[in-house]
Structure 1
Amino acid sequence: MEFVMHVVEGIFFIPFMIWIIYFLVFSIGYRIPSKALFKKAAVQHRFLVIFPAYKEDAVIVDSIRSFSKQEYPHHLYEVVVVADSMHEDTNTALRNAGATVLIPSYEHRSKAAALNLAMTSTQGKTFDAVVILDADNLVLPDFLTHINQAFSSGSKAIQAHRIAKNDNTDTAYLDGISEEINNSIFRKGHVNLGLPAALTGSGMLFEINWFRQVMPKISSMGEDKELEYHLLRDGIFTTYLEDVYVLDEKVQNRRDLSNQRKRWIAAQIDTFLLTFKELSNIFRTRNWPMLDKLIQWSIPPRIILLGIIPIWIIILILLAPILIYKWLVLYLLFLIALGLAIPNKFYNKRTFISFLKLPFIFVAILRSFMGIKSGRSTFVHTPHGEKKEDYSN
Structure 2
Amino acid sequence: MSICPIIHTFDILLWFIIAANVAYILGFALTIALPPVKCHFTTSKRLQSFLILIPAYHEDSVIAHSVETILHQDYPKELFHVAVISDSMSTDTNQLLASLPITLLQPSFQKSSKAKALQFAMSTIESPYDYVIVLDADNIVASDFISRLNAIVQPSMVIQCHRTAKNSDSDVAVLDGVSEEINNTIFRKGHNRIGLSSALIGSGMCFDYHWFKTYVNELKSAVEDRELEALLMKQRIYIHYAEDIYVWDEKVSNSDNFQRQRQRWMSGQVQAFCQMLPYLPKAIIDGNINYIDKTVQQALIPRSILLILIPILCVISTTSYLIWHTSYTVPLMWWILLFCLCLALFVAIPKQMRKQSLFPKLLSFPALVWKMVLNIQKIDRNNTDFIHTKHGQ
TM norm. shorter chain > 0.5: yes
Amino acid at match of 1:52: P
Distance 1:376 1:157 in 2: 28
Secondary structure in 2 matching 1:7: helix
Q: Note the alpha carbon deviations across 1:281-336, whole angstroms, 9 max, x for none.
A: 12110011111112211112110000011112222233355311111111111111
Q: 1:346-385 residue pairs with structure 2 within 5 A?
A: 346-373=353-380, 376-385=383-392
- SS at structure 1 position matched to 2:116: helix
SS in 1 for 2:104: strand
Match of 1:76, as an amino acid?
Answer: L
Aligned to 1:119, what secondary structure does the other structure show? helix
Is contact 2:56–2:136 with CA below 8 Å preserved after alignment? yes
> Following TM superposition, by how much is the alpha carbon of 1:31 offset from its aligned partner in structure 2, in angstroms?
3.1
Other structure's SS at 2:339 match: helix
Helix, strand or coil for the counterpart of 1:238?
A: strand
| Residue aligned with 2:265, SS | helix
The match for 1:94 is 97
CA separation of 1:130 and 1:349: change in aligned 2, threshold 3 A: closer
Q: In structure 2, what is the equivalent of residue 390 of structure 1?
A: none
- Which residue of structure 2 aligns with residue 139 of structure 1? 141
TM-score, with structure 2 as normaliser:
0.94
Amino acid across the alignment from 1:372: I
Pick from 329, 339, 342 the counterpart of residue 335 of structure 1.
Answer: 342
What is the match of residue 49 of structure 1? 52
Aligned counterparts of 1:155 and 1:240: Cα–Cα separation in 2: 14
1:375 to partner: Cα distance: 9.0
1:185-212 alpha-carbon deviations (Å, 9 max, x no partner): 1001100111000000100011111112
Which of 16, 20, 23 pairs up with 2:22? 20
- Show structure 1 runs of 5+ residues with no match: 387-393
Aligned to 2:110, the other structure's residue is in SS state coil
Q: Matched residues in 2 for 1:170 and 1:94: separation?
A: 33
2:94 is matched by which residue type in structure 1? N
* Alignment-derived partner of residue 238 in structure 1: 239
Moved over 6 A (4+): none
Instruction: Give the Å deviation of 1:344.
Output: 0.5
Structure 1 contact 132–205 (Cα < 8 Å) conserved: yes
1:219-238 CA distances to partner (integer Å, 9 max, x unpaired)?
Answer: 21010000001010010000
8 A contact 2:271–2:381 mirrored in 1 = no
- Give, in whole Å, the separation in 1 of the partners of 2:201 and 2:233: 15
Letter of the 2:151 counterpart: Q
What is the TM-score when the length of structure 1 is the normalising length? 0.94
Within the alignment, does 1:162 sit opposite 2:169 as a pair? no
Letter in structure 2 aligned against 1:10? I
Partner of 1:252: 253
In the alignment, what sits opposite 1:279? 280
Q: CA deviation at 1:38?
A: 5.0
Q: Distance in 2 between matches of 1:39 and 1:209?
A: 19
- Structure-2 change in CA distance of 1:196 and 1:132 (3 Å): same
TM-superposed deviation, 1:33: 4.3
Name the amino acid aligned to 1:32: L
Contact 1:155 1:238 in 2 (8 A): no
Structure 1, residues 24-61: CA drift from partner, whole Å, max 9, x if none? 11111123343868576412111111000011111101
What amino acid is the match of 2:289? W
Cα shift readout 1:330-372 (whole Å, capped 9, x = no counterpart): 1111111111000011123521211232211111111222222
- Amino acid of the structure 2 residue aligned with 1:228: E
Deviation by residue 1:102-154 (Cα, 9 ceiling, x = unmatched): 111121210000000000101x21111110000000000111111111114x5
CA change 1:37–1:347 in 2 (3 A) is farther
Contiguous gaps of at least 5 residues in structure 2: none
Following superposition, the deviation at residue 155 of structure 1 comes to 4.9
SS at match of 2:15: helix
Structure-2 separation of matches of 1:176 and 1:66? 21
Look up the SS of the partner of 1:319 in the other structure.
Answer: helix
State the one-letter code of the partner of 1:251.
V
Matched ranges for 1:114-133 at <5 A: 114-122=117-125, 124-133=126-135
Look up the SS of the partner of 2:247 in the other structure: strand
Q: 1:340 to 1:271 in 2, by over 3 A?
A: same
Alignment partners' CA distance in 2, 1:41 and 1:342? 36
Aligned to 2:194: 193
Distance 1:25 1:18 in 2: 10
Shift of 1:376: 3.0
User: What is the rounded CA distance, in whole Å, between the counterparts of 2:204 and 2:276 in structure 1?
Assistant: 24
Give the Cα–Cα distance (whole angstroms) in 1 for the partners of residues 384 and 292 of structure 2. Answer: 27
Give me the identity figure in percent.
37
2:116 equivalent to 1:113 = yes
Does residue 3 (structure 1) correspond to residue 5 (structure 2)? The answer is yes
